[in-house]
Structure 1
């Protein structure tokens, strides 16, 4: 009788631990998915170092100008560049950062660039992006 009770108790504990771990795993997966969905539109640009062979193929392939439209200078080997994800135009990081601080449009095609995300992107699930927190 005692062994049967202990066996049932161990079975109950094992099932409880399995259910709890599945719930925790599901919540973690949901939170990662929610964060990915909420932060995806906020991706403003990609940063990379300019390499002459990389730049020429990208420029020729997409017919972009061979110079930064903000400062009108050609990128040199090792320059820190930013590519806007909305229109895929490239600029020097030192040139586009002040530009995006003043205006939220691409200097070349005037495509709207998303503003900076809030401190906690999960807040967007509960508050609209237009409200200031």
Structure 2
């Protein structure tokens, strides 16, 4: 995330023609360009996609992919984070279970509120 945010900040500085001796904080840069931090943007988009997927019928391939559990062994060492693991961590942070999220996804307004609580939008950052 840090490397991606650094790249985006560099691009924004080039677009705004901010040269090296001029100093401007990253937060001030985001305020000028009305950009969200990359981590919040990714969370918002991820959970928006999850909401759409949970509203699909159970036979949908994308919905079944959320529950897919690959079999077999992984290499030695720490396992890489998967989408499912990241979603479970965020779910625990929200204080909900996966079943509660499935039922909540059916109500779009409630889902938007949930996603808004997880990752604030551009307007509420000021």
Specify which structure has the higher proportion of strand: 1
TM-score (norm 2): 0.28
Q: Which structure has the bigger radius of gyration?
A: 1
Specify which structure has the higher proportion of helix: 2
TM-score (norm 1): 0.27
